[in-house]
Amino acid sequence: MDEDRKRSAIVGVGAVALAVTAIVAISNDGGADNRGVCVDRYTDTRVSDERCDDDSSGGGGASGGGGSSGGGGYGWYYIPSGRTAPGVGEKVSGQGSYTPPASSVKRGGVAYDGGEVTRGGFFSGKSSFGG
């Protein structure tokens, strides 16, 4: 009987550790204060995030958008939580900045049709909420 209790305790501890790891991974990925959307810097129009495939720096894609304002090509445009992101094909107009913010950022993951950026990693897209 003693062996069964030990085995049961080990399985229980393993399950708890796995659950904690999953929760930490989700919260680290989605709890950003800002979301990045890819923008054609010539026209200030949102494009597919694949155009800004460099997720490790402020730069953007093969055209080299860079992290600061000005210039051309594709680059990340950072929108703070609580503001509305444009849909693909729509202009960015004062919702955010090309300059990477000092607070946490998650690039990509914004609904294709735009909507409100929320801090918890969830996104209220226009199609889901009639916006």
More confident residue, 108 or 25: 108
pLDDT of 21 over the 50 cut: no
Residue 67 has pLDDT above 80, yes or no: no
∠ CA 28-34-36, rounded to 5°: 100
Over 90: is that where the pLDDT of 90 sits?
A: yes
Residue 62 pLDDT > 50, yes or no?
no
Has this prediction a pTM greater than 0.95?
no
Q: Is a pLDDT exceeding 80 seen at residue 77?
A: yes
Sign of the torsion angle spanned by Cα atoms 42, 46, 48, 54: positive
